[in-house]
Amino acid sequence: MLNILEETKYIMKKYDIKANKSLGQNFLISEEVVEKIVESADIKEDDLVIEIGPGLGTLTKQLLEKAGKVICIELDTKMIKILEDRFALYKNFEIINEDILKVNLQEIIKRENKTCKIVANLPYYITTPIIMKLLEDKLEIESITVMIQKEVAERLIAEPGKKETGAITYSVYYYCNSEKILEVPNYSFIPEPEVTSEVIKLHLRKESPIKVKDKEKMFKVIKNAFMQRRKTLINALTNTNTIKSKEEANHIFEKLNINKKIRAEELTLQQFADISDNIK
């Protein structure tokens, strides 16, 4: 029986495959990492797993042995042939040749009527749009177990108000409880990427951790605040016309007892909610 490295090289040679740089492809070859991803996803025999970007099917193979149904969403047509050849005999396997950002996941999840978990090894260049789609589409999913660039992972799961905080930190915190699973060195892939990866798991919250009158308005405030993150929050929000004047901004900050020299990354999510609620 071939190990993952031997199997990957065999498949690449058989189908004359090279990693597609434009699609951010790097093929996972670490048995330990594959096992850890599948283990941390906590897949039950009745679960629906949606795997984004299965590539050669390294993760898919183990997911199919655990889940009630695995639906792979793969953009690269070259991978479709490989996946169909490898897993045609599995009755719980389905593949969709489409861009994940264009797929109606809500419809798929409703059709399958199972507890849904997302598993993915995401291309670095499109991590944020995919994560935000999964969260903002209000999907009936229990968790997202994903391997992404370490720097991005640290920002995603950071606690709001800490050094690594970015605009997306607040979105992830609003929708999820998150945890770090495993750091993945670059030699775990072929070809080797220039960066270290990290596996994280996002557990979808059943209830929001804060109270806010208008969620969309709050996230717009956060986005605008981080567009000029080197400036004080008051300057960032007035420069982007989020708050109409410095006078109004000063009034809001005084009312909420927030330091007028504070910067965006120093605020808690509730403070952003409070500011949003007080903007006319």
Pairing of strands 197-204, 141-149: antiparallel
Distance of alpha carbon 202 from alpha carbon 263, whole angstroms: 27
Q: Give the per-residue pLDDT at 147.
A: 96
In the predicted structure, residue 1 carries a pLDDT above the cut 70: no
Question: Span 78-96, mean pLDDT?
Answer: 96
pTM metric for this prediction: 0.93
Q: Give the per-residue pLDDT at 162.
A: 82
Element of type H or E holding 62: helix 58-66
Tens of pLDDT, residue by residue over 99-129, are 999 999 999 999 999 999 999 998 878 899 9
- For 101, the token pair is 């950002």
Q: In which residue are the tokens 């800490």 written?
A: 162
Distance of alpha carbon 149 from alpha carbon 195, whole angstroms: 7
Q: Give the per-residue pLDDT at 24.
A: 74
Mean pLDDT, rounded, of the chain: 94
Distance of alpha carbon 25 from alpha carbon 19, whole angstroms: 5
Q: Give the per-residue pLDDT at 37.
A: 97
In the predicted structure, residue 23 carries a pLDDT above the cut 80: no
Strands (E), the chain: 27-28, 48-52, 69-74, 93-97, 116-121, 141-149, 176-184, 189-190, 197-204
Q: Give the per-residue pLDDT at 19.
A: 79
In the chain the domains, ranked by start, together with CATH numbers, are: 4-204 (3.40.50.150), 215-278 (1.10.8.100)
Tens of pLDDT, residue by residue over 164-214, are 899 999 999 999 999 999 999 999 999 888 899 999 999 999 999 999 999
Distance of alpha carbon 224 from alpha carbon 98, whole angstroms: 32
Q: Torsion-angle region of residue 206: left (phi > 0), alpha (psi -120 to 50) or beta?
A: alpha
Q: Is 213 helix (H, G, I), strand (E, B) or coil?
A: coil
Question: Span 39-62, mean pLDDT?
Answer: 96
Q: Give the per-residue pLDDT at 261.
A: 94
- Fill in the DSSP letter of residue 243: S
Question: Span 128-140, mean pLDDT?
Answer: 93
Confidence of residue 84 (pLDDT cuts 50, 70, 90): very high
